[in-house]
């Protein structure tokens, strides 16, 4: 049985040069799970001197404004620590959210949005 409830929808893969965070297909990242989302990511930031975190959004169905705010704050913390946050594989609707909110100009998105 998983030790943490978020283990059911958030998987963390520590690699030598980065930490990759993946989510269950169809997950809604919203107010309901925002506190767990941010606390797990904050603990990852604290575990490395220069954290490099990749959020693989493959299959994420929705990002709420609360999650977008938490991503912005987490990115600031990571950059201040000399690290890097990469948003990987956002689906078309998620990518559109980043574009509309102009977060695509602040956050590193891979592959980069094509115009």
DSSP class of 91? -
**What is the architecture, at CATH level 2, of domain 5-110?**
2-Layer Sandwich (3.30)
pLDDT in tens, 60-101: 999 999 999 999 999 999 999 999 999 999 999 999 999 999
Whether this prediction's pTM lies above 0.85 is answered by yes
How many CB atoms within 10 Å of residue 54?
A: 20
Confidence of residue 111 (pLDDT cuts 50, 70, 90): confident
Rounded to whole angstroms, the Cα distance separating 88 from 31 reads 21
Task: Write down the domain spans for the chain.
Answer: 5-110
pLDDT at residue 4, rounded to an integer: 62
């Amino acid at each position: 049985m998983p030790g943490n409830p978020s283990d059911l929808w958030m998987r963390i893969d520590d690699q030598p040069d980065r930490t990759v965070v993946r989510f269950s297909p169809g997950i809604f990242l919203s107010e309901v799970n925002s506190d767990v989302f941010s606390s797990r990511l904050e603990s990852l930031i604290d575990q490395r001197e220069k954290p490099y975190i990749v959020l693989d959004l493959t299959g994420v169905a929705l990002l709420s404004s609360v999650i977008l705010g938490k991503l912005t704050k987490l990115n600031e913390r990571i950059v201040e620590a000399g690290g890097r946050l990469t948003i990987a594989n956002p689906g078309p609707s998620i990518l559109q959210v980043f574009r509309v909110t102009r977060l695509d100009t602040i956050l590193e998105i891979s592959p980069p949005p094509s115009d």
